[in-house]
Amino acid sequence: MRNICLSLFFLLAIVGGIQAQIQWPQNKKAAIVLTYDDGLPSQIQYVIPQLDKAGFSATFYLMGKMLKDIDIPVWREVSRKGHELGNHSVYHPCWAKPESKRSEPCHALQCYSLKEMLLEVELMNAFLHAIDGKKERSYAYPCGKSVVGEEEIDYAKPMLEAGLVKSARSVYGGVVNKVEDIRMEMAPVVVVNNKMKADELIPYVKEAITKQGICVFLFHGVGDNFHYTIEAEEHQKLIDFLVENKDKLWVDTFLNVMNHVSQLKGK
């Protein structure tokens, strides 16, 4: 009797485990999202051609203050190819260190009210809409911080509740495989640090495949001298690995993958 009970317990545990796994479209084993911050020229120069050749769509988080008129048609073309132009705010506000002087007008997070921050996100939405004509997009927190004012008021949930963006990306969390661990306003990521090699990134993809999870990479510079930069060749090696495993992987924009997660959550 005890053996039967134990067997039943393990069977239920296994069935429960299977049910808890995320079902990705077309029975893919994992979702891989490639995101690139700050609208850097190296992303246009190296990343877009590599992605386009591989047939992958990715998300590029642009900030208003960096965009020049000459960049507008370039990013419009990037969007036309199927990539997402994500919202990374207008002024890219960060948390000012106590010793640092705040500029006038002040664009440190401490200087913002909740209303002002949401207004800036809305403004950037309008700007991006003028470029790509899209009405839905995702958001990446500048400097990875989602609080404003000296009181550190969180603007993540209010931003989603106001309907300004569909989802938002955090700067931590790694690979996860439970729907409840993927917060729509703070989705987990793998941060690509300075000079990282493909050999250090590919294990995260393998982990996502094994766990049937999601892996969102956060890149900055590729093949340039920006901070958090990796070599263009290393980026290509990662893309090559994704191509080799195309049958197992759903590689898409942050917006598309998170919209699928949202459906799974029943929202």
Interacting residue ranges for Zn ion, rule: CB under 5 A? 37-38
Q: Which is nearer to Zn ion, 37 or 185 (CB)?
A: 37
Closest separation between CB of residue 26 and Zn ion, Å?
A: 32
Q: How far is the CB of 93 from Zn ion (least distance, A)?
A: 10
Residue type, 171: V
Query: What is the C-alpha separation between 166 and 80, in angstroms, rounded?
Result: 20
d(CA 157, CA 224): 35
**How far is Cα 96 from Cα 119, in angstroms, rounded to an integer?**
20
Whole-number minimum distance, CB 153 to Zn ion, in Å?
A: 21
Q: Which CB sits closer to Zn ion, 85 or 249?
A: 85
Q: Return the number of the residue (38 or 234) whose C-beta is nearest Zn ion.
A: 38
* Helical packing angle, 114-132 and 72-80, nearest 10°: 80
Smallest distance from Zn ion to CB 21, Å: 33
Specify the long-range contacts of residues 45-48, CB closer than 8 Å, at least 24 apart: 45/223, 46/222, 46/223, 46/232, 46/235, 47/219, 47/222, 47/235, 48/78, 48/81, 48/83
In the complex, least distance from residue 207 CB atom to Zn ion, rounded to whole angstroms:
25
Helix 198-211 × helix 232-244 angle, to 10°: 30
Q: For the CB of residue 113, give the shortest distance to Zn ion in the complex, in Å.
A: 21
Rounded Cα–Cα distance for residues 173 and 186 (Å)? 9
Estimate to the nearest angstrom the gap between the alpha carbon of 150 and the chain centroid. 27
Measured at CB, which residue is nearest to Zn ion? 37
Q: Which residue, 56 or 60, has its beta carbon nearer to Zn ion?
A: 60
Whether the Cβ atoms of residue 219 and residue 36 lie closer than 8 Å to each other: yes
For Zn ion, give the closer residue by CB, 66 or 202. Answer: 66
- Rounded Cα distance, 218 and 55, in Å: 19
Q: Among residues 226 and 241, whose Cβ is nearest to Zn ion? A: 226
